[in-house]
Amino acid sequence: MRDIYTIIEQPLITEKSMDGVPDGKYTFRVDKNANKIEIAEAVEKIFNVKVEGVNTLTVKGKKRKMGRHIGRTPDWKKAIVTLKPGQKIEIFEGV
């Protein structure tokens, strides 16, 4: 198995992602090649919680212009992790 700290890249703290926190749903930016099982195991080990389910989606990169050149930002993967009832992650609670 890969290193758990390379699977979970960073938590996503936005208004939309914070709306799911009371329901036990936490959003993370994850490695593009990680699957749902690896994501669930990484969250359980890093935050010491029990995961009920994982939903993933690939966010497509946006077009960007630098002068007359047009490029794209890279695609990335987002995971919405649902915890079992009564579980919570502390880093999201203080925001």
| CA gap 88, 47 in Å, rounded | 9
The 10s digit of each residue's pLDDT in 3-58 is 999 999 999 999 999 999 999 999 999 999 999 999 999 999 999 999 999 999 99
Work out the average pLDDT over 52-74. Answer: 95
pLDDT for 25: 95
Domains of the chain, by residue range, sit at 4-86
Q: Which residues of 35-74 are buried (b: 16+ CB within 10 A; e: fewer)?
A: eeebbbebbbeebebebeebeeeeeeeeeeeeeeeeeeee
CATH architecture of 4-86: 2-Layer Sandwich (3.30)
pLDDT for 92: 73
